């Protein structure tokens, strides 16, 4: 039976017609045919179900494709947590991103162009790390902090040698992973000493014996213990004889005035540590990496032993990490460094300007003084004065679902967009993201 309007479901365009639509021009080159096809099929289904008009299929497919061929999306970090583990910890500097782009192609990561022969892999970043840390005789880079520590344990204690460590430092680092279990998984034997709150030099001294491989100090980087507590410093441990290995966690290379309790690589070596391990993507502000520093003749020789150990090959970093790490150590200040050093008055000015502009557009926005934190397993308890734009709480979910997504934090029934972990260059994008959801906040 003829109808005035043909059923729109019958008018859903065929896949090849959609793929040929100018709206999707270049899409297969950019995202790959399979990915584009999946988006088209989903859009056709939406048209069949009457959720979109048949004419909108190509545009809907285009809109469903991500910004790049990865599903990973850039998120504006307005949480006030400088190193947000769920957001990939440290954002890289523009210099590091440039370095990544160069290394992404074929590059001389392991070729000596002068001779045409194999060259030392990672020599640039290893030299940069040595230069940045006075007292480091040798350096090495593994996949992450946990890999660096596991490698040290496997290489120096993996055949049943004892790792002497305070019970107060047998910590869980996140996602259920625990330092003691990590150590034991390498074949090393754990020799816990002292108690949760107090460990003394004599506890270590009593435990040292022929089986001792090294004394380990783990910085409790994600919690603080206060009250009746006592721990032994690196300097005292260094006098006991066995090598001292210190996992400082955050990767500060030198002391930072705002983080007086955060250990740094240079001071830890100066205090007598033989080996220092650290992460690359925490306070150092670089890519995910595990750093290893050796101090003095013994520490330098230990780095050599560790990097020659077979497992070292299994936790070797790729050229992208080498490039981005070198640019982060040797290049301009990293974003994390700039967030740390940000002037609170400047943050307050930015929050005031943003709130005023949004309020002028009818958004219920005010500026607020806040307290930000380092996060990401570093500098627990450190409070960084900051400023935020405060919005009604329902904005939090709408902003996460927006484009670009924004992660704020909820406090006292309001959604706070904290500026401490955002460069000023993203203020316009932040305001745009708020405006885009202002008419239709969910929640
Ligand atoms: C973060 C951390 C680790 C783990 O480092 P990753 O780079 O995340 O593998 C180990 N030890 C300490 C003390 C840490 O803070």
Instruction: Split the chain (443 residues) into runs of 10 and give each run's mean pLDDT.
Output: 61 93 91 93 95 94 87 95 95 98 97 96 96 97 97 96 96 87 96 94 97 96 80 95 96 94 96 97 97 98 98 97 98 97 98 97 96 84 95 97 96 97 97 89 47
Residue 56 domain-assigned (yes or no): yes
Check whether residue 258 and residue 352 sit in a common domain. no
User: Residue 69: inside a domain, yes or no?
Assistant: no
| Protein residue closest via CA to atom 7 of ligand 1 | 145
Tell me the C-alpha to C-alpha distance, in Å, between residue 93 and each of 159, 325, 326, 327, 333. Answer: 41, 10, 11, 8, 8
DSSP notation for 254-280: S--TT-TTS--HHHHHHTT-SEEEEES
Mode of pairing for the β-strands spanning 162-166 and 117-118: unpaired
Q: Which atom of ligand 1 is nearest to the CA of 148?
A: 9
Residues 271, 409 within the same domain: no
CA angle 244, 340, 425 (to 5 degrees): 140
- CA of residue 200 to ligand 1 center, whole Å: 24
Between CA 312 and CA 382 the distance in angstroms is 35
Residue of minimum CA distance from atom 5 in ligand 1: 145
Q: 363 and 228, same structural domain?
A: no
- 70 in a structural domain: no
Q: Are residues 82 and 114 in the same domain?
A: no
CA dist., res. 417 & res. 389, Å (int): 5
pLDDT for 2 equals 52
Determine the atom of ligand 1 nearest the C-alpha atom of 280: 7
CA of 390 to the centre of ligand 1 (A): 33
Range of the domain at 29: 8-64
pLDDT at 6: 63
Same domain, 328 and 347: no
Q: Which of 332, 348, 364 is the last residue of a domain?
A: 332
Same-domain check for residues 112 and 255: yes
Cα–Cα distances (Å) from 257 to 218, 233, 340, in that order, read: 22, 20, 10
Q: Which atom of ligand 1 is nearest to the CA of 247?
A: 13
Query: Residue with structure tokens 């979109």?
Result: 52
Asked, for residue 280, whether it belongs to a domain, the answer is yes
Compute, in angstroms, the gap from residue 380 CA to the centroid of ligand 1.
Answer: 13
- The answer to whether residues 156 and 41 belong to one domain is no
Q: Is residue 71 part of a domain?
A: no
Residue 218 alpha carbon, nearest atom of ligand 1? 13
378 CA to centre of ligand 1 in angstroms = 9
Give the number of other Cβ atoms within 10 Å of residue 42's Cβ.
Answer: 13
Strands (E) across 145-289 are located at: 162-166, 172-174, 177-178, 189-193, 212-218, 244-249, 275-279
Q: Are strands 212-218 and 162-166 parallel, antiparallel or unpaired?
A: parallel
| Residue listed under structure tokens 């997504």 | 405
126 found inside a domain: yes
**CA 315 / ligand 1 centre spacing (Å):** 15
> Facing residues of 372 across strands?
384
Distance 193 CA to ligand 1 centre (A): 21
Give residue 172 CA to ligand 1 midpoint distance, Å.
10
Q: Nearest C-alpha to atom 12 of ligand 1 is from which residue?
A: 249
Ligand 1 centre distance from Cα of residue 392 (Å): 36
Atom index in ligand 1 nearest the CA of residue 146 equals: 9
Same structural domain, 400 and 270:
no
Looking at ligand 1, which residue's alpha carbon is closest to its atom 13? Answer: 249
Mutate to test the pocket of ligand 1, among 141, 279, 284, 288 (most ligand atoms within 8 A of CB): 279
| Among candidate residues 332, 353, 385, the one where a domain is terminated | 332
- Choosing from 303, 332, 361, the residue where a domain stops is 332
pLDDT at residue 71, rounded to an integer = 85
Same domain, 12 and 49: yes
Number of domains observed in the structure of the chain: 3
Q: Is residue 139 part of a domain?
A: yes
Nearest CA to ligand 1 atom 2: 249
Q: What is the reported pLDDT for 443?
A: 44
3-state DSSP call for residue 39?
Answer: helix
Residue 221 to residue 262: CA distance in whole angstroms: 8
CATH of the domain at 366: 3.90.1150.180
Beta partners for residue 439, in sequence order: none
Q: Is residue 2 part of a domain?
A: no
User: Which residues line the pocket of ligand 1, CB cutoff 6 A?
Assistant: 144-146, 173, 218-219, 221, 247, 249, 279, 290, 377
| Å from CA of 119 to ligand 1 middle | 30
383 and 321 share one domain: no
Clarify whether residues 285 and 183 are in a common domain. Answer: yes
- Helix, strand, coil percentages (3-state) for the chain, rounded to 5, are 40, 20, 40
Rg value, the chain, Cα? 27
Q: CATH number for the domain including 296?
A: 3.40.640.10
Give the separation between CA 119 and CA 142, rounded to whole angstroms.
19
Kindly state whether residues 311 and 369 are assigned to the same domain.
Answer: no
């Amino acid at each position: 039976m003829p109808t005035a309007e043909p059923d729109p479901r019958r008018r859903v365009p065929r896949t090849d017609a959609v793929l040929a639509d100018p709206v999707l021009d270049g899409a297969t080159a950019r995202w790959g045919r399979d990915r584009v096809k999946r988006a088209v099929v989903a859009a056709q289904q939406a048209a069949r179900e009457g959720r979109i008009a048949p004419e909108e299929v190509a545009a809907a497919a285009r809109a469903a494709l991500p910004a790049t061929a990865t599903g990973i999306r850039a998120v504006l970090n307005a949480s006030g947590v400088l190193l947000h583990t769920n957001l990939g910890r440290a954002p890289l500097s523009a210099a590091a991103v440039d370095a990544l782009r160069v290394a992404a192609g074929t590059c001389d990561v392991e070729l000596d162009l002068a001779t045409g022969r194999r060259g030392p892999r990672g020599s640039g970043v290893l030299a940069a790390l040595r230069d940045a840390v006075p007292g480091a005789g040798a350096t090495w880079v593994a996949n992450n902090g946990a890999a660096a520590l596991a490698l040290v344990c496997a290489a120096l204690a993996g055949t049943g040698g004892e790792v002497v460590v305070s019970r107060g430092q047998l910590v869980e680092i996140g996602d259920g992973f625990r330092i003691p279990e990590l150590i034991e998984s390498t074949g090393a034997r754990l020799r816990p000493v002292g108690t949760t709150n107090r460990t003394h030099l004599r506890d270590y001294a009593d435990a040292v014996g022929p089986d001792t491989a090294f004394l380990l100090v783990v910085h409790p980087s994600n919690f603080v213990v206060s009250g009746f507590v006592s721990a032994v410093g690196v300097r005292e441990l260094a006098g006991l004889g066995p090598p001292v290995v210190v996992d400082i966690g955050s990767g500060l290379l030198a002391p930072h005035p705002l983080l007086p309790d955060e250990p740094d690589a240079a001071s830890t070596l100066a205090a007598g540590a033989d080996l220092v391990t650290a992460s690359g993507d925490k306070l150092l502000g670089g890519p995910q990496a595990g750093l290893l520093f050796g101090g003095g003749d013994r520490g330098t020789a230990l780095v050599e032993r560790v990097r020659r150990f077979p497992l070292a090959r299994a936790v070797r970093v790729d050229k992208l990490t080498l490039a981005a790490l070198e640019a982060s150590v040797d290049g301009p200040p990293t974003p994390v460094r700039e967030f740390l050093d940000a002037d609170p008055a400047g943050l307050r000015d930015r929050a005031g300007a943003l709130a005023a502009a949004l309020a002028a557009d009818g958004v219920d926005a005010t500026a607020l003084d806040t307290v930000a934190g380092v996060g990401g397993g570093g500098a627990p308890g450190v409070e960084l004065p900051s400023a935020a734009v405060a919005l009604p709480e329902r904005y939090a979910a709408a902003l996460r679902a927006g484009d670009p997504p924004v992660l704020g934090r909820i406090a006292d029934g309001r959604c706070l967009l904290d500026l401490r972990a955002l460069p000023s260059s993203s203020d316009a994008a932040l305001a745009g993201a708020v405006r885009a959801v202002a008419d239709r906040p969910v929640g």
